[in-house]
Structure 1
Amino acid sequence: MSIKPPLSSATRIRSIAGGALGNLVEWYDWYVYSAFALYFSAAFFPAVDQTAQLLQSAGIFALGFIMRPLGGWLFGVVGDRYGRKQAMTTSVLLMSFGSVLIAIIPTYQQIGVLAPISLLTARLIQGLSVGGEYGISATYLSEMATPERRGFFSSFQYVTLVGGQVLALAVQLILQYFLLTEEQLHHWGWRIPFAIGAILSIVVLYIRSRLHETEAFNELKEKHATLRHPVVELWRHPKSVLLVVGLTMGGTLAFYTYTTYMQKFLVNSAGVSKQLSTVLTFIALLVFAGLQPTFGALSDRIGRKPLLIGFGIAGTIATIPIFSLLSSTTSIVVILALMIAALMIVSGYTSINAVVKAELFPTNIRTLGVGLPYALTVAIFGGSAEYIALSFKQAGHEAYFYYYITGTIAISLLVYIFMRDTKQDSAMDHPEQ
């Protein structure tokens, strides 16, 4: 058996940076849809009221999540059988294709019902890609990090995931304030960010093709001439699979509510202008991204469990007051402070959820174990967040959504309380099973 020298610190950091950059672009491509839905929803759906058009756009956003479990399975198998690097390069290629398609789709007025059908097709392709991206990048960043700094380095998955949203909003701000008029944005300007995403994806494809494979996977290849099928192997770990579902449901609902839905909530419920809502969301998400490494490093010192429990308690107590105040205040300072407070609470989950999941599974099924149950849970709770919120609003019961978030976080809190602290008992530190 050949023994390869361990990767140097510089090589690890370059690999983590390369993997994180690819994650940023993938999530930019995914979130630019939500950021620009306020502008393109009228292009793909018949003219009704704004809430109805946003509801239809949110419906397609939610349907895109249907493909995420399939992506989690497909790229999980590829990542566990053929390598993390191979899976990452393939996923970004699919994302690029979906962005190109959205950028060139004719409007509803031009091709009728084929317009929303084409939009849905593109989102399904992107859903397949991003469904695999989470498990791949979580596994890659966790395996590339040294054991004592896994929390810190794996937190960069959400730095770049949120960074994708920030980048999408930055493009939106530039177009809104410096390059295009409101009419131009509604007419054709919304296509520009999708074209940018397609180009960036090709750049990332090149970067990812030059990344190092993780030592954990290389050691696995040397130990096993053939591997049992990852899906069969996964069902040997039912407790870990259920833990991924339980610890994800409250966190993912809160995350998608306070990031992708918040911009629409500010416009549609709090009476904030589109331009101002973009600025406020941009600032809040920038702060949110900066919080991730701090929380991740803290988990390396005190453990993962205290942060998860802190999110669960604060999220259960504060969600209803935060939304009630947001919908009633007219102070921009108060709105921004509430948004940042909400995202600070969610950081107890987002900063470490990737490493916690990676630490639950052995190397041979880590990508699939992280990606598939996570994608299923996100498809149910995260992908439906906007649609459920807008449905309650249209029915005249918007406050019901606040209680829905609270209840879901409370269920996850019970999981956090009774699960083990994966920093102290990590599958990544044990010999392969």
Structure 2
Amino acid sequence: MAADAAHTPVHPLRQLAAASVGNLVEWFDWYAYTFLAIYFSPQFFPKTDNVLVPLLYGFAVFAVGFFMRPIGGLLLGWLADRIGRRAALTWTITLMGAGGMVLALSPTYEAVGALSPALLVVARLVQGLSIGGEFAASTTFLVESAPPHRRGLYSSFQYVSTTIGQLIASGLAALLAFLLTTDQMGSWGWRIMFAVGALGSFVGLWIRRGAVETHRTAADYEARAERKPHMFEFIVRYPLKALLIVGITIAGTIGYYTWTVYLPTYAETTVKFDPGKALVVSTISLAFFAVLQPLAGMLSDRIGRKPLLIVFAAGLTVLTVPLLSLVTASFISLLLVSLVAMVFLSGYTSIAAAVMVETFPARVRAAGIGFPYSLTVAIFGGTAPYVGTLLAKLHVGGWYPWYIVVLTAISLPVYLLLKETKDVSLAEE
């Protein structure tokens, strides 16, 4: 740990709060976009007779934001390795709040023309930069704060906070959809969500200021007369570890963005599921998902990370097509499909942070995780809603489940060959 950590008592709850609350706010902002895209997309793009066209444009911007994530993972991960995790976390939440405020205040296409979608793109690029850095810094900070025999449990709070942020976003979106008419939601109701997220960033920023650093700061490097890591040191020295992060992430990211983000839209576009009811299903499922995370994290501290990853990938490789084929216009069918998928998905989400942190040495850990992880998410996770919507527009929506199966199957041999990491030391080199 850094010098200040050596003299400052580390309070586990404070460390968890610093990583989790800020992470919650970050992901609330990020997912508010996906839940409300069906409402605000017509406000940012030219009107058309096909309702799927503006939604397709909206998800294209969503995907564009993901392509800033590797840059954020690289740049802010590098800063976390050079100047400390806490400083990087301050930057990530500030950027996310700024992007959310731009979204809340952006004018419509009807009012300013092309400037409207341009502002939408800029806001999402800033938020993409923030999210890429957030994962890099918060995962390392969170797992480095944990006792050796509790790293799986601490790791699970990465997705506990992510899911709660998503849950609050889903719940607030469902509440707004219930209280407001469709026209009101489309004209101004969606702005409330982004304003709430921007204000929440200030709360997260204040909490993070009281955290104890878990890594060397810039002053520590100077005091030791030691060279700070350069931006690409992680890939020069550890190319196979970087590639391993990619293999670990492929199945997890396509699974996560399919089952927790895109599933309501998939149901709406394939079986004409009611959007308001889809948001309710999403809210219930996410609450269940959040409860599963620490349970699976604690299980991994007992039996290891590898068994959970194998069950996750093997289960969803076999069950994805049957599960999605069971989706109908029935509320119960969509809910049951979602809950079953969440059980398997937890085998990845609860321990992804721990596995990745345990893979890289401390000196380049944040950048070593941040860049390959975010690049993989950008390619496969960020494009999932777009690919699904595009296939539906082309009247071949039935191909999407098989697309998920192929990507999930890619990671399965990686998990089978992965060395168990739960007992490795996180000590600095």
Normalising by the residue count of structure 2, what TM-score does the alignment of the two structures yield? Answer: 0.95
Which amino acid in structure 2 is aligned with residue 54 of structure 1?
L
Matching of residues 330-349 of structure 1 within 5 Å = 330-349=329-348
Aligned length: 426
1:269 alignment partner, SS class: helix
1:239 alignment partner, SS class: helix
Residue aligning to 2:30 = 30
Cα shift at 1:220: 6.9
Residue aligning to 2:426 = 428
Residue aligning to 1:63 = 64
Alignment of 1:115 onto 2:116: yes
Q: What is the percentage of aligned positions where both structures have the same residue?
A: 42
1:235 alignment partner, SS class: helix
2:232 alignment partner, SS class: helix
Which amino acid in structure 1 is aligned with residue 363 of structure 2?
N
Q: Rate the CA distance shift 1:70–1:2 in 2: closer, same or farther, 3 A.
A: closer
Residue aligning to 1:47 = 47
Alignment of 1:371 onto 2:370: yes
CA distance in 2, matches of 1:148, 1:402: 38
Alignment of 1:416 onto 2:412: no
Question: Which deviates the most, 165-174 or 152-161?
Answer: 165-174
Cα shift at 1:377: 0.3
Q: Is the contact made by 2:85 and 2:137 (CA closer than 8 Å) also made in structure 1?
A: yes
CA distance in 2, matches of 1:159, 1:232: 31
CA distance in 2, matches of 1:226, 1:164: 38
Deviations 1:203-250 (A, max 9, x none): 211211221111677997465633231422442111110110001011
Which amino acid in structure 1 is aligned with residue 36 of structure 2?
F
Residue aligning to 2:94 = 93
CA distance in 1, matches of 2:170, 2:229: 44
Which amino acid in structure 1 is aligned with residue 188 of structure 2?
W
CA distance in 1, matches of 2:170, 2:399: 28
Q: Rate the CA distance shift 1:288–1:88 in 2: closer, same or farther, 3 A.
A: same
Question: Which deviates the most, 11-20 or 32-41?
Answer: 11-20
CA distance in 2, matches of 1:338, 1:44: 33
Which amino acid in structure 1 is aligned with residue 193 of structure 2?
P
Q: Rate the CA distance shift 1:4–1:414 in 2: closer, same or farther, 3 A.
A: closer
Q: Is the contact made by 1:144 and 1:215 (CA closer than 8 Å) also made in structure 2?
A: no
Question: Which deviates the most, 146-155 or 332-341?
Answer: 332-341
Which amino acid in structure 2 is aligned with residue 19 of structure 1?
A
Residue aligning to 2:299 = 298
Cα shift at 1:44: 0.9
Q: Is the contact made by 2:81 and 2:215 (CA closer than 8 Å) also made in structure 1?
A: no
CA distance in 1, matches of 2:416, 2:36: 39
Matching of residues 169-180 of structure 1 within 5 Å = 169-178=170-179, 180=180
Deviations 1:83-123 (A, max 9, x none): 00000001111111101111111111111121111101110
Deviations 1:67-86 (A, max 9, x none): 00000011011100000000
CA distance in 1, matches of 2:250, 2:112: 38
Q: Rate the CA distance shift 1:126–1:300 in 2: closer, same or farther, 3 A.
A: same
Matching of residues 109-188 of structure 1 within 5 Å = 109-178=110-179, 180-188=180-188
Q: Which runs of 5+ in 1 are unaligned?
A: none
Q: Which runs of 5+ in 2 are unaligned?
A: none
Which amino acid in structure 2 is aligned with residue 325 of structure 1?
L
Q: Rate the CA distance shift 1:297–1:217 in 2: closer, same or farther, 3 A.
A: farther
Residue aligning to 2:290 = 289
